[in-house]
Chains A and B, each alone.
Chain A
């Protein structure tokens, strides 16, 4: 059997697969026409308001999909921005999408044009409204804040992976009196958004957003699946806490080493967390198996091209 399945290593795989199963099952369920409840997420009701106000002022809506390259977080941010863009398009409101990465720029162009076309407003679509600024963190920060100041953005949306630059954007936008809706998947940046922005999506709300906005079966279903998974985690936490509470007391004369029970040389000792069942679940210690295989005559040829 494979290395990753020995001792308690399989638990991790099982857990991940279970969660994936939950999500997939609920997506199917929802696609099957079952409509599912989603609680109110305050920050999101602000989207329309923000864009609306920008329209009144006739000043642009500025969007930043985080600092990462083409990652899932960035895609999620772009998903939310398509919603924003759609409203802006209807209000005939200028938009600016600032990309930190060429691949993101490519996807951005594709998506934004799609939005205008699907709204039948292809004539309002301006390729320059999606811009590649720079993929160097602080050059990007300088460029974007320059844009915010010069274009006098009326509404700004910062969503995705934000790092140190978050506060530069937020304060600059605040300086020109823009409404700001923000969200960072980096827990370390959320407090700064909370301090400086009008509306903030905290943590998971960012992933829930597109489901909340569109109510598409796939997304709502997946959201329900995520909740099941969280309940599973909660259950594990409660069960595990109880287990440790009862196991981690008193002395022991055997300990779990290299995948089997062994008596401790030098007599019994006081139990620690390492002696509990849950500790073994999460820290597998597979026993050392020696397997001797024939060697190649010539030195090993390095990896094959990833095709």
Chain B
């Protein structure tokens, strides 16, 4: 419809650029003034948090980190939250990737960032090769994942990693993989992913090692299949999931905080302590982005509502 005449038509033909401009505004402003939105963690996120917290002492966690900068908005939040919890629990972990050649580097940067946080907060830093391993990218997800299921040491055996200022050595000599002979020896396998690797891992590793996923919002519907059927222990989905997790790190589950208040209650989970009483330590991407998400989604809802109102008015006018 050229040059909209009636009000009804105007409502239905708002120019695209105007919408786009609005969207940029509502997503930009909240970043300058971060605030804390009230929230209610989802069950799958709570199960995820509990799953990590219930890993036996001294077990190694294997992280399949299959995300890069293109999904930084969600995945970095998930990954750094995961690393924070693991470090808080003093669990050793190894990070590998079958999703993207860049994933290992991106992961390394995040670990470094969290280490800086810990230094600032006066906590012990995680030493490369001693406390955690940066494994390389393995092309061919199917083959590698299947191989990890059959003989993990054979697959990871070729990989090398170096402690700070040392020559690279086979990762099998690292304390991290010392007690890992079979995949069954792992405490948990967490897949932080923005790609199909989730399916591949369930297909080839389910039943051999407990699994937990951190996926991008778009993958939530498909992966909640696996959560529903109990193939994975817990699921952190998208920005909401990250925000949930960051809240749980703050308040725990069924746990009395230092202020004596129990913020998060759940009858499906046991008591899981929170940590990071100092709020500054916890401003993660989730907490940072969640308000802006409100702005954007509200705009979307308004746009749809307005469009429909326009349509109905138009119909009336037509009659």
Check whether chain A touches chain B (CB < 8 angstroms): yes
The number of chain A residues with a CB under 8 A from chain B is: 7
Q: How many A-B residue pairs have CB under 8 A?
A: 11
Interchain CB contact under 8 A, A187 and B70 = no
Interchain CA distance A302-B154 in the complex, whole Å:
8
Interchain CA distance A210-B218 in the complex, whole Å:
29
Contact partner of B222 (CB less than 8 A), chosen from A164, A187, A283, is: A187
Q: Which residue on B lies nearest to A171, using beta carbons?
A: B16
Binary B-proximity of A146-173 (CB < 8 A = 1, otherwise 0): 0000000000000000001000000000
CB distance from A248 to the nearest CB of B (A): 15
Interchain CA distance A283-B229 in the complex, whole Å:
11
Interchain CA distance A138-B71 in the complex, whole Å:
12
Residues of A within 8 A of B207 (CB): 283
Interchain CA distance A138-B194 in the complex, whole Å:
14
Interchain CA distance A302-B70 in the complex, whole Å:
36
B residues 125-165 touching A (CB-CB < 8 Å):
154
The yes or no answer to B221 lying at the interface (CB within 8 A) is yes
Residues of B within 8 A of A262 (CB): none
The yes or no answer to A188 lying at the interface (CB within 8 A) is yes
Interchain CB contact under 8 A, B221 and A188 = yes
Interchain CA distance A187-B221 in the complex, whole Å:
9
Residues of A within 8 A of B222 (CB): 187-188
The secondary structure that dominates the A interface is: loop
CB distance from A295 to the nearest CB of B (A): 15
Residues of A within 8 A of B218 (CB): 164, 188
The yes or no answer to B282 lying at the interface (CB within 8 A) is no
The yes or no answer to B219 lying at the interface (CB within 8 A) is yes
Q: Which residue on A lies nearest to B219, using beta carbons?
A: A188
B residues 175-226 touching A (CB-CB < 8 Å):
207, 218-219, 221-222
Binary A-proximity of B36-73 (CB < 8 A = 1, otherwise 0): 00000000000000000000000000000000001000
Interchain CA distance A188-B222 in the complex, whole Å:
8
Residues of B within 8 A of A164 (CB): 218
Interchain CA distance A137-B194 in the complex, whole Å:
13
CB distance from A63 to the nearest CB of B (A): 23
A residues 130-153 touching B (CB-CB < 8 Å):
137-138
CB distance from B98 to the nearest CB of A (A): 15
Interchain CB contact under 8 A, A138 and B221 = no
Binary B-proximity of A59-82 (CB < 8 A = 1, otherwise 0): 000000000000000000000000
Residues of B within 8 A of A283 (CB): 207
CB distance from B221 to the nearest CB of A (A): 6
Interchain CA distance A211-B50 in the complex, whole Å:
49
A residues 7-64 touching B (CB-CB < 8 Å):
none
CB distance from B203 to the nearest CB of A (A): 12
Interchain CA distance A124-B222 in the complex, whole Å:
44
Interchain CA distance A55-B296 in the complex, whole Å:
41
CB distance from B156 to the nearest CB of A (A): 13
Interchain CA distance A137-B102 in the complex, whole Å:
14
Residues of A within 8 A of B70 (CB): 137-138
Interchain CA distance A302-B151 in the complex, whole Å:
11
CB distance from A280 to the nearest CB of B (A): 14
Interchain CA distance A302-B155 in the complex, whole Å:
10
Interchain CA distance A194-B292 in the complex, whole Å:
27
Which residues of A are at the interface with B, using a C-beta cutoff of 8 A? 137-138, 164, 187-188, 283, 302
11 interchain pairs, CB-CB under 8 A: A137-B70, A138-B70, A164-B218, A187-B221, A187-B222, A188-B218, A188-B219, A188-B221, A188-B222, A283-B207, A302-B154
> 5 shortest A-B CB distances, which residue pairs?
A188-B218, A188-B221, A188-B222, A138-B70, A164-B218
Given A138-B70, A188-B218, 9 further pairs, Cβ under 8 A: A137-B70, A164-B218, A187-B221, A187-B222, A188-B219, A188-B221, A188-B222, A283-B207, A302-B154
